[in-house]
Amino acid sequence: MKIVVAPDSFKGSASALAVCNALEAGIKEVFPACEVVKIPMSDGGEGLVETLVQATGGRIERLRVTGPLGEPVESFFGVLGDGQTAVIEMAAASGLPLVPPSQRNPLLTTTYGTGEVISAALDAGCRKLVVGIGGSATNDGGAGMAQALGVRLLDDSGQEIGYGGGELQRIARIDLSGLDGRLKEAEIVVACDVDNPLCGPRGASAVYGPQKGATPEMVQQLDENLQRFAQLIKEQLGRDVSDVPGAGAAGGLGAGLMAFLDAELKPGIEITLTTLQVEKAMQGADLVITGEGKVDDQTVYGKVPWGVSKMAKKHGLPVLAFAGWLDPQAEVVHQHGIDAILGILPHPMDLSEAMAGVGGYLQRAAAQAMRLLVVGMNLSDKM
pLDDT bin (cut points 50, 70, 90) of residue 290 is very high
Mean pLDDT estimate for the chain? 95
Q: Is the pLDDT of residue 281 over 90?
A: yes
Residues with Cβ within 8 Å of 15's Cβ and at least 6 positions away in sequence, in order, are 9, 40, 47, 50
Pick one of 3.40.50.720, 2.30.40.10, 3.40.1190.20, 3.40.50.10350 as the CATH number of 2-40+277-382.
Answer: 3.40.50.10350
| Four-residue CA torsion sign, 140, 144, 150, 153 | positive
User: Which tens digit of pLDDT belongs to each residue from 54-88?
Assistant: 888 999 999 999 999 999 999 999 999 999 999 99
Are 269 and 302 contacting, i.e. CB atoms less than 8 angstroms apart?
Answer: yes
Whole-number Å distance between alpha carbons of 312 and 3:
11
Q: What pLDDT is recorded for position 365?
A: 97
Q: What pLDDT is recorded for position 233?
A: 98
Q: Is the pLDDT of residue 45 over 90?
A: no
pLDDT bin (cut points 50, 70, 90) of residue 11 is confident
User: Which tens digit of pLDDT belongs to each residue from 202-212?
Assistant: 999 999 999 99
Region 279-288 average pLDDT: 97
CATH code linked to domain 48-269:
3.90.1510.10
User: Which tens digit of pLDDT belongs to each residue from 214-246?
Assistant: 999 999 999 999 999 999 999 999 999 999 999
Q: Is the pLDDT of residue 6 over 90?
A: yes
Q: What pLDDT is recorded for position 340?
A: 97
Q: Is the pLDDT of residue 160 over 90?
A: yes
- The domain spans of the chain are 2-40+277-382, 48-269
**Residue with more model confidence, 236 or 194:** 236
Q: Is the pLDDT of residue 314 over 90?
A: yes
Whole-number Å distance between alpha carbons of 1 and 13:
30
DSSP string for 327-345: -TTGGGGGGGT--EEEE--
Q: Is the pLDDT of residue 275 over 90?
A: no
Please give the span between the terminal C-alpha atoms of the chain, in angstroms, as a whole number. 21
Q: Which residues pair with 128 in a beta bridge?
A: 85, 187
Q: Is the pLDDT of residue 357 over 90?
A: yes
pLDDT bin (cut points 50, 70, 90) of residue 101 is very high
Region of 150 (left: φ > 0; alpha: ψ -120 to 50; beta: rest) is left
